[in-house]
Copies of this chain bind each other. A is one copy, B any other.
Amino acid sequence: MDIKFNDGFTAIYEYVKKQKPLIHHLTNYVTAGDCANIALCFGASPIMADAAEEISEITGSADALVLNLGTMNKVKFASMELAAVRARKKGIPIVIDPVGVMASDMRFEAAMEIIRGGASIVRGNYAECQTLLLETRRGKGVDSLVTCQSDIGHLAEQAAQKYGCIFAVTGKEDAISDGKRTIIGSNGVEMLTKVTGTGCMTTTLIGCAAASTKDYLLAALCGIQTMNVAAEIAFKALKDNEGPGTFKTRLLDSVYQLSSEELAKMSKLR
């Protein structure tokens, strides 16, 4: 497969750093600060807001909407629905992170309702995306062990076809599909699993990229690759006595420093 994303990545990077798109997040309180910081490192302008009273105004000013199901509840979900309605009407991308969708009926139903109502990109791990594809809950917690990763590309493809949007399944390898075209990436490091919110932050980066192009397959790929390549650079610089704390700090540094040329050069895609 002949893939050349250099120009696409460059266009997104230039747009984000110049236009500073406003990324409206309805997200969890565990990693909200990390998501805001990675959006700023990437060049975008994050806003976190979830009060029903102001949702319509804030989504109305935004260039992309990121919905993250971590620490959600009924009240926050009502706001997510309002935000999604506004985003669809306005035509801005909706990126959803179905955090722990296999962990409760509430999360499952919330994710299904948003995706069925119309989402642009879904970014989850294998267990989360499998739950959405099969419409049945499996696993435990938010970091469920994946029983089978051999068909990650197949999972992304099928889910994308079923729901008519981009599916980005991340893990040891990543698969991004629009139902027709499926790209497999093999960047990233194991230590990403030792820092909370690296999935959420990846979804934020996808939201930033999706604010910059109508090619959402490219946007999802760009967000995931930015996280994974930055993680490789951050990990490589770690000293023997350093671990997840220093890694997280340097991950932000690396996203800030990363150029689109370096991104394209280091990306391992097929």
Instruction: State whether A103 and B250 are in contact (beta carbons under 8 Å apart), knowing that A141-B22, A142-B47 are contacts in the complex.
Output: no
- Whether, in the assembled complex, A48 has its beta carbon less than 8 Å from a beta carbon of chain B, the answer is yes
Of the candidate stretches A70-78, A152-160, A165-173, A205-213, the one touching chain B is A70-78
The interface size bin for chain A is: 35 or more
- A141 — which chain B residues lie within 8 A by C-beta? 22, 45, 47, 61-62
- For the complex formed, measure the closest distance between the CB of A267 and the CB atoms of chain B, giving whole angstroms: 20
Report whether A48 and B71 are in contact in the complex, using a CB–CB cutoff of 8 Å.
yes
A249 partner, pick from B34, B40, B245, beta carbons under 8 A: B245
User: Could you tell me if B243 and A252 are in contact, using CB atoms closer than 8 angstroms?
Assistant: yes
Report the copy number of this chain in the oligomer. 3
Question: Which of B194, B237, B250 is close to A41, meaning CB atoms less than 8 Å apart?
Answer: B194
Q: A266 in the interface, Cβ–Cβ < 8 Å?
A: no
The CA-CA distance from A72 to B53 in the complex, in Å, is: 10
A50 on interface, CB distance cutoff 8 Å: yes
Interface string of A60-85 (1 = CB under 8 A from B): 01100000001111100000000000
Do A246 and B243 have beta carbons less than 8 Å apart? no
| Assembly CA distance A28 to B54 (angstroms) | 15
Across the interface, name the chain B residue whose C-beta is closest to A245.
B252
Q: Which residues of chain A have a CB within 8 Å of any CB of chain B?
A: 20, 22, 28-34, 36-37, 40-41, 45-54, 57-58, 61-62, 70-74, 100, 103-107, 140-143, 193-197, 237, 241-246, 248-257
**Supplied contacts A22-B140, A32-B71, A54-B107, 15 more A-B pairs, CB within 8 Å:** A31-B36, A37-B245, A37-B248, A40-B196, A41-B243, A53-B104, A54-B105, A57-B104, A57-B105, A58-B104, A242-B250, A243-B254, A246-B250, A248-B252, A249-B249
User: Could you list 8 A-B pairs, sorted by A, with CB under 8 Å?
Assistant: A20-B143, A30-B32, A45-B141, A49-B100, A243-B252, A243-B253, A244-B256, A246-B249
